[in-house]
A and B are shown apart, each in its own frame.
Chain A
C-alpha cells in the first residue's frame, strides 16, 4: 500500500459528494454534500503534503477549513432566511430568478 490509496479514497468521496449535490433536493443536504467534497479535498491536500514531505499542503488544508467554516455560517444563514420567507428548504421552490 502506498499513500496513493488516500488519494483514490479522496477522489471517490469527492465524486459521491458531487452526485449528492446533483441528486438531492433539500438545500441543507446539498450543503452537507458540499462539505463532504471540501473534506475530501482536504484529505488529498494532506496526502500530497505527506508525499512531498513538507507542510505546505497542510497549511492549504488549514485555510480550506477556515473558508469552509465561514461558508457554512453564511450558507446556513441564507437557508434559514429563505426558509423563513418561503416555508420551504427545497431548492426547487426558489425559482423566482428563473425566467
Chain B
C-alpha cells in the first residue's frame, strides 16, 4: 500500500499534460472522427437500418473511450448492453414496424431543417466555448490505478453502488421491473382487436359467408412417380395443373413435366402457370387468422 501511495504522489506531481499518454491521444484521434462519422451517419442515412448500424459504430467507439479512461466495467457494459442488447432490440423493431422506414422528403414545417441545422451548430458552439473557457485552468487528477479494485474496475464501482448509492440502486430495480411489465403490456396484442385470432366457428362462418368459391382447404402438392416435393403441382382430373396447389413462396419445378392422362400426351409448362396465377389467388391459406384474412 505504501508503494502505491508513493506512486500516487509521484503521479500527482507530474504536469497535467502527462495525464494523457501518447497512445491514448492516438486512439482518440483515430476513434473520435469515427464516432462523429457514426453519429452523422445515424442522422443522415435515409434507410433506418443503416442509421442503426452507424449508431452501433458510434456506441462501440464510445465503449472503447470508456475503456481508455479507466472505466473498464462501464466500457464492457456499454458494449454488451448498448451494442449487444439495445441496438439488436432496435433492429428487431425496425424489421417489425419500420419496413417503410425511409423518411418522407416532405418538409412539414417550412424551414425546419435549416433551423435545426442552425440550432445544432449554435448549440455545439456554445457548449464547446463554455467547456473551453471553464476548463482552461483545471488540471486533471492523476489517473486511477486500473489494477486496483478502486481504479474503475467493477470492485470500486460496486463498493460505491452498495454503500453511498444504495437507495438509487434499489430504485433502479423497481424501475426495471416496471419497465419490463410496461413492455409486455404495451406490446401485447389486444385480443378484442379485429386482428385477434378467430375461433374455429367464426372461421367456418366467415369462409362460407364471404362467397369464396372454395370453402374447403386448398389442394396439396401432387405426388407423381417422378417426384413428390412441395413444388410439384397437383393435377386436376383433366390433366391440367391445379393453380391453387402451387405455392407462392416456392418456385415450382421449372422443368416441363410430361404427364400422360388417358388418351393423349400433354406437356405441362409449369413456369407459365405460376406466372399466370391470378393476383386474387394469393389469399392466405385457411389457417391464417391474421388481419388480412378478413379482407381476402
Contacts and interface: CB of A to CB of B under 8 A. Distances in A.
Contacts of A67: 172, 175
B104 to A, nearest CB: 6
Nearest to B125: A15
B5 interface: no
Contacts, number: 249
A11 to B, nearest CB: 4
A86 to B, nearest CB: 10
A55 B101 contact: no
B156 A55 contact: yes
Interface string B62-78: 10011001110110011
A79 B65 CA distance: 31
B268 interface: no
Contacts of A69: 81, 85-86, 176, 179
Interface string B183-222: 1111101000000000000000000000000000000000
A58 to B, nearest CB: 5
Given A4-B135, A32-B52, A24 B43 contact: yes
Nearest to A54: B141
A17 B84 CA distance: 20
B263 interface: no
A32 B90 contact: yes
Interface in A19-77: 19-20, 22-26, 28-29, 31-33, 35-36, 39-40, 42-43, 46-47, 49-56, 58-59, 61-63, 65-74, 76-77
Contacts of B224: none
Given A22-B116, A24-B43, A7 B131 contact: yes
Contacts of A63: 165, 168, 172
Given A6-B28, A74-B186, A36 B96 contact: no
B40 interface: yes
Contact of B93 (A11, A23, A28, A54): A28
Contact of A26 (B48, B55, B132): B48
Contacts of A52: 141
A26 B160 contact: no
Interface residues of A, number: 72
B124 A20 contact: no
A81 B85 CA distance: 20
Given A35-B55, A61-B71, 10 more contacts: A1-B17, A2-B19, A3-B140, A8-B128, A23-B116, A32-B55, A36-B39, A39-B58, A46-B66, A70-B179
Interface of A: 1-9, 11-20, 22-26, 28-29, 31-33, 35-36, 39-40, 42-43, 46-47, 49-56, 58-59, 61-63, 65-74, 76-81, 83-84, 88-90, 92
27 contacts: A1-B17, A1-B25, A2-B16, A5-B32, A8-B131, A14-B127, A16-B36, A18-B120, A19-B119, A25-B103, A35-B82, A35-B86, A36-B55, A43-B62, A50-B143, A50-B144, A51-B141, A53-B142, A55-B150, A65-B74, A65-B81, A69-B179, A76-B93, A77-B183, A80-B93, A81-B187, A89-B98
Interface of B: 16-17, 19-20, 24-25, 28, 32, 35-36, 39-40, 42-43, 48, 51-52, 55, 58-59, 62, 65-66, 69-71, 73-74, 77-78, 81-82, 85-86, 89-90, 93-94, 96-98, 100-101, 103-104, 108, 112-113, 115-117, 119-121, 123-124, 127-128, 131-132, 135, 138, 140-144, 150, 152, 156-157, 160-161, 164-165, 168, 172, 175-176, 178-180, 182-187, 189
